[in-house]
Amino acid sequence: MTAWNSKLTELKKILVELYSDKEDGVVMVDMAGIPKGFVAFNNKSNINWHNILLEANKRDRVKNIVQIAADDFPEITELKSLFKEVEEKDSL
């Protein structure tokens, strides 16, 4: 696990825009292999994604989230760049 950093902030900003509903976050957590009981879901998208990424980072699942988002939105080039960085560094 790495500490919170600018790349996680960048990813959070993207995810808040793409997946604004709480339910979107619940689905993403499930697809990324993160136990839902460990995430403090919130109706505010910014807080929801902060909490999701905190838990994903603890479990080395940020890569999974970036991959899912990149597959869902291939036109978002920032996601492809972030995925390459995660692949190279093995975590953000």
Tens digit of each residue's pLDDT (9 = 90 or more) over 50-64: 999 999 999 999 999
The residue extents of the domains of the chain are 6-89
Residue 37: CB partners within 8 Å, gap ≥ 6? Answer: none
Give the pLDDT band of residue 1 (cuts 50, 70, 90). Answer: low
The angle at the Cα of 24, spanning 29 to 8, to the nearest 5 degrees, equals 60
C-alpha–C-alpha distance, residues 70 and 85, integer Å:
13
Tens digit of each residue's pLDDT (9 = 90 or more) over 18-50: 999 999 999 999 999 999 999 999 999 999 999
Other beta carbons less than 10 A from residue 36's beta carbon: 11
User: Which amino acid, residue 10?
Assistant: E
C-alpha–C-alpha distance, residues 22 and 48, integer Å:
7
